[in-house]
Amino acid sequence: MEPFKASFAPVTDSHTRLLILGSLPGEVSLARAQYYGHPQNQFWRLMVRVLSAELPSEDYESRLATLRRAGVGLWDVVRVARRVGSLDAAIRDHEPNPLAEFAATLPALRAIAFNGGAAAAIGRRQLAGLEGVALIDLPSSSPAFTMAFARKAERWDPLRAYLAPQPS
């Protein structure tokens, strides 16, 4: 039986307005200990567009700092699971992260976006009944999801609205 694989710690702070939830890091991301570490994953390209800002190309910690400054947080819906390879369809025996409890610790949270169908299916179950926070399903940034980048980007563009300053 394949061993359990675990998600990373959340990347958030008290200013997080938008939390993007993936399913479970893939093999390359796990090996690099980086969210969206596969070079063909389009996450970082999509975030450049959403933020209308460049992200440091090589320095992972600087990329994360840029996301935090913009009010973007990252985490995964799955805490641990068995999986051979990197495909979401291969996730077995998963235990979810405590998403509702965690969302309650983020005072500025306005939206939670699910990066892909598996993240949405698992995450929406965990967040049923959450009030005052928009839940948004996104096409996966994974290279395994073969939608054209321009179409993915159009679906990710509305995230900008949750990062804009709130009217007082």
Which candidate in 7, 16, 23, 41 is catalytic?
41
Among left, alpha and beta (phi > 0; psi -120 to 50; other), residue 129 is left
Instruction: Taking the CA atoms of 55, 136, 129 and 4 in sequence, report the sign of the dihedral they define.
Output: negative
Nearest Cα to Cα of residue 110 among 164, 46, 33, 147: 164
Distance of alpha carbon 55 from the chain centroid: 16
Burial of 124 (0-12, 13-18, 19+ CB in 10 A): middle
Q: Which amino acid is at 55?
A: L
41 has catalytic annotation: yes
Residues forming the active site: 41
